[in-house]
Amino acid sequence: MSKKPSFANKIQVFGILVILIIFPLMSWYYLKTGYNYQMDARGELKDYGKTPIFSLVDNNGKTFTNDSIGNTMAVISFLGKDENMDTTMLGIMQKLNTQFGDNRNLKLLIGTLQPEFDSPAKLNSIFEKYNLADDQHTLLTGDKAALQKLAGMDLQVPKEWIPRENEAAEIVFEKIPSIEDYPFFVLIDRKQTINNYYKVNSEDEVKRMVEHIAIMLPRDIKPDIFVNEQKEK
């Protein structure tokens, strides 16, 4: 008469099945999910042209050009006349430094559209107020016409995001010769290609920007810090 397998034997067999079948299937699922997520996110990054040629002055009074960005990624935005928008933008720039501050492959650039009011000394006071980091943040001033051209004409101004099924939204641009505010972040990759634009006052778009940066930077960054911080507000 055959002996029935004991409860302990059944547990042992089940454990072996879990190790040999269930764990590999779960690992495959999570790897596949992560791969699909990264592919979807990368699909949202487009080629909107190369970084424009410019020559400005940084908050230390030194010349800063498009070549100064070098072989690094960059996020660019601008101070304007809307103080609330400026406060939001500067706060996000500071948090980006908190998130990615140990990575030298990212530059955070903030230009001013009012250089007649935003001298290098005033820009340095902004550095202190928002606790910005010298090794990652650069505030840019200089000729007003050059700054206006960089923001309104060269980088261009997104005026509409047109949703497209299963694809990234199509951005419609306009060129504005004289611009008072630029409420967008512009993401530039390490080849100085403009990859995407994000609205400063859109929490969802800012979160997506953080995720895009994390995916593109050559190290493992966790965007959850920024996302969770937003949720706690």
Question: Domain locations in the chain?
Answer: 1-43, 47-231
Q: What is the pLDDT of residue 111?
A: 95
Q: What is the pLDDT of residue 118?
A: 84
Copy the structure tokens of residue 107: 């530059």
Pick from 162, 159, 197: which is nearest to 49 by CA?
Answer: 197
pLDDT bucket at 206, cuts 50 / 70 / 90: very high
pTM of the model: 0.77
pLDDT value, residue 102: 76
CATH of domain 47-231: 3.40.30.10
List pLDDT tens digits, range 136-177.
Answer: 999 999 999 999 999 999 999 999 999 888 777 899 999 999
Which residues neighbour 30 within 8 Å (Cβ) at sequence distance 6 or greater?
none
Task: Provide the CB-side half-sphere exposure for 57 (13 A, CA).
Answer: 15
| Mean pLDDT, the chain, integer | 82
In angstroms, the CA 129 to CA 134 distance is 13
pLDDT of residue 12: 64
CA distances from 128 to 63, 95, 122 (A): 21, 15, 10
Compute the average pLDDT of residues 226-230. Answer: 53
Q: Which residue has the higher pLDDT, 223 or 59?
A: 59
Cβ neighbours for 188, distance < 8 A, ≥ 6 positions apart: 51, 69, 73, 74, 75, 76, 194, 195
d(CA 17, CA 188): 48
| pLDDT confidence bin for 221, thresholds 50/70/90 | very low
Output the pLDDT for position 28. Answer: 42
The residue whose two tokens read 């903030």 is: 110
